[in-house]
Structure 1
Amino acid sequence: MSTSRRSLLAAAALLPAALALRPAAAQQRFESIFMFIPAGPGGGWDGTGRAIEQAARAAGLVGSFQFENVGGAGGMVGLPRFVNQRRNQPNALMVGGSVMVGAGITNKSPITIANVQPIARLTEEAGVIVVPATSDIRTWQDLEAKLKANPGGVPVGGGSAGGTDHILLGLILKALGRNPREASYVAFAGGGPANAAILGGQVGAGISGYSEFAEQIKAGRMRALATSGERRIEGTDIPTLKELGLDVTAANWRGVFAGPGITAAQRQALIDLMVAVHATPQWKETLRARVWADAFLTGDAFAEYLKRDITATESVLKDLGLA
Structure 2
Amino acid sequence: MRIIRSGAAPVGIVLALALTGCSMLESGGGGGDAAIDELSIVVPAGPGGGWDQTGRAMQADLQEEGLVGSATVTNVDGAGGTVGLAKIATETDPNTLLVMGLVMVGAVETNEAQARIEQTTPIARLTEEQEVIVVPAESDYQTIDDLVDDINENGKEVAITGGSAGGTDHILAGMLLQASGMPSGNIASSLNYIAYSGGGESLAALLGNNVSAGISGVSEYAEQVQAGKLRALAVSGAERVDALPDTPTLTEAGYDVVLTNWRGVVAPGSIDDAEKEALTSAVTELAESDAWQATLEEKAWDDAFLAGDEFDTYLDGNIAEIQTVLKDIGLVR
Identity of aligned residues (%): 44
Distance 1:239 1:41, change over 3 A: farther
From 210, 223, 226, the counterpart of 2:218:
210
Which residue of 1 is the match for residue 55 of structure 2?
49
Distance 1:43 1:184, change over 3 A: farther
Tell me the alpha carbon deviations over residues 254-295 of structure 1, each in whole angstroms, 9 at most, x when there is no partner: 210112323332222211110111011122233344454433
From 52, 65, 72, the counterpart of 1:65:
72
- The one-letter amino acid of 1:91's match is N
Which residue of 2 is the match for residue 272 of structure 1?
281
How do residues 13-24 of structure 1 correspond to structure 2 at under 5 angstroms?
none
Q: For 2:41 and 2:277, locate their aligned partners in 1 and report how far apart those are by CA, in whole Å.
A: 17
Say which one has the larger Rg: 1
Which residue of 1 is the match for residue 134 of structure 2?
130
- My pick for the range that moved more, 312-321 or 279-288, is 312-321
2:40 matched to 1:34? Answer: yes
Q: Does structure 2 retain, via aligned residues, the 8 Å contact 1:116–1:258?
A: yes
- The one-letter amino acid of 1:264's match is D
2:202 matched to 1:197? Answer: yes
2:235 matched to 1:248? Answer: no
Which residue of 1 is the match for residue 267 of structure 2?
258
Measure how far apart 1:91 and its partner are.
2.7
Distance 1:59 1:230, change over 3 A: same
Q: For 1:127 and 1:147, locate their aligned partners in 2 and report how far apart those are by CA, in whole Å.
A: 19
Distance 1:289 1:298, change over 3 A: same
Normalized per residue, the structure richer in helix is 1
Higher relative contact order (CA 8 A, sep 6+): 2
2:194 matched to 1:186? Answer: yes
Aligned pair count reads 293
From 166, 170, 175, the counterpart of 2:174:
170
Which segments of 5 or more consecutive residues in structure 2 lack a partner in the other structure?
Answer: 1-29
Which segments of 5 or more consecutive residues in structure 1 lack a partner in the other structure?
Answer: 1-23
Q: Does structure 1 retain, via aligned residues, the 8 Å contact 2:56–2:73?
A: no
Which residue of 1 is the match for residue 123 of structure 2?
119
- My pick for the range that moved more, 261-270 or 35-44, is 35-44
> What SS is found at the alignment partner of 1:76?
helix
2:313 matched to 1:307? Answer: no
2:236 matched to 1:232? Answer: no
- My pick for the range that moved more, 197-206 or 277-286, is 197-206
> What SS is found at the alignment partner of 1:255?
strand
- TM-score of the superposed pair, with normalisation by structure 2: 0.74
Distance 1:52 1:204, change over 3 A: farther
Q: Does structure 1 retain, via aligned residues, the 8 Å contact 2:222–2:244?
A: no
RMSD of aligned residue pairs (Cα, Å):
3.1
